[in-house]
Structure formats: C-alpha cells, structure tokens
Amino acid sequence: MQTYKKITDGFIRIVEHIEALLIAGIVGVMLYEMILRNFFNRSFRSSTELCGFLFMWMAFLGVCILYDKERLITLDIVYAHAPEALRQLFWFLGKAAALLLGAVMIIAYIGMYPINKTSYFSTMQWLSKAWHFLPMAIAGGFIVVKTVWQLLDRVLTLTGRQKEVRA
C-alpha cells in the first residue's frame, strides 16, 4: 500500500508543476494578446482557442490535485454529526460515486475519441481535439486509481489487517 501511495503522490507532484506552467501559459497568452491589441492594433488569432485548451488542461488536472487533497466540495454536513457507522456508510457511498464518476470520464473520452481525433481547432489546425479532452480521461483515471487505493486502505484498516495510512 505504501508503494501505491508513493506513486500517486509522485503523480500529484508532477501535476502540480504542470498546473503552474498552465496557469503561467494562460496569463502569458492573455498578456501577449493584450499588448498586441492595445499597442500594435493587431491580434493573435489563436489566443482564444489556445487559452481554452490550456484552461481545459488546468481545470481537469486541478481536479486531480483537489481530489488527492480531499478538497472537492462534499455534503459532509449531512453526516458530520451522525453516528460512526452512518458516517462510514456515507464515506463508502461517496467513494462509490467517485469511482463511477472516474469511470464515466474515461468511458466518455474513449467513446468520443473517434470523433475528436478527426476534429481540429479552427486556428490551430495541427492540433486534434482529442488532445483537448485528454485531461478529462487523465483526471478520471486518477480518481479511479486513488479511490481504489482509499477503499482498499479503509477496508484493510477496518478489518485490522493494517494500520491506517492517511491519504
């Protein structure tokens, strides 16, 4: 289980660095566009599509980071003051929902791939839209992997087969 955790932690460290580059890229493209428009009365035609592309990657890779750090919005107010057994039940139901969400994200990407691989951006015609939606599948895959680890960890801890390892 420790190896599994080290792999997911390493992935998140890489994603955090990529996330910083994506944010800097969006800011850089917008600043470049603003300077071109205001000082040179010109425009970088691809800026809107490029910012959208970078934003899509930023958003879905951000989901990986938030899910890893358990910072996504939850409805824990419903069960925060409930008995321990009910809290455990809600925790397992939440993880089942996360597992399904991750699987749906992967399946959606695979299902749309035949269409997206032949669709291109209007100003970046060298870039297939399959790349635009790839972070959705990556985030879905991470959610599945992390959730499986969390479920295994919780079950092994509850059955007394290992000491609790915090995600």
pLDDT tens digit string along 77-117?
Answer: 777 888 999 999 999 999 999 999 999 999 999 999 999 99
Specify the residue for token string 């996360």.
Answer: 98
Report the candidate in 107, 98, 84 with the shortest Cα–Cα distance to residue 150: 98
Q: Quote the percentage of the chain above a pLDDT of 70.
A: 97
Q: Are 51 and 34 in contact (CB under 8 A)?
A: no
126 vs 40: CA distance, rounded Å: 27
Arithmetic mean of pLDDT over the chain: 92
DSSP three-state, residue 128: strand
Report the candidate in 90, 94, 87, 77 with the shortest Cα–Cα distance to residue 147: 94
pLDDT at 145: 96
The alpha carbon dihedral of 110, 112, 114, 118 has a sign of negative
